Structure 1
Amino acid sequence: MKRLLLLVVLVTAFSANAQTNQQLLKHYEAFYKQMREQGDIQGMINGLTHLNVLAPSQARKDTLSYIYMSEGKYVQALNTIGIEKNVSDSDMALEVKAVSLKSLGETERAIEQFKVMYDREPNVGAAYELAELYLQTQKLTEANTYIQYGLLNSQDDMAKTFYETQQPYRVPLKAAFLYLKGLVKFNENKTENIDTAISFLDQALSMAPNFNMANISKNALLSQKQKPAETQNSGENKN
Structure 2
Amino acid sequence: MLPNYDTSPHPVRDDLAEAHRKAWRHIASTGTWLTGRQRVAIAAETRHAANCRLCRDREAALSPYAVEGAHDHLGALPENVVEVIHRVVTDPARLTESWVRKALASGIAEPEYVEIVSIIAHTMCVDTFTDAIGIERHGLPQPEEGEPARVRPDGADYNIAWLPTVPPEQADEDLLAIYPRNVGEAPSAPHVRRALSLVPREAVSFFALNDVQYLPPEAMWNAPINPRSISKSQVELVASRVSALNGCFY
TM-score using structure 1 length: 0.30
Larger radius of gyration: 1
TM-score using structure 2 length: 0.29
Q: More helix per residue: 1 or 2? A: 1
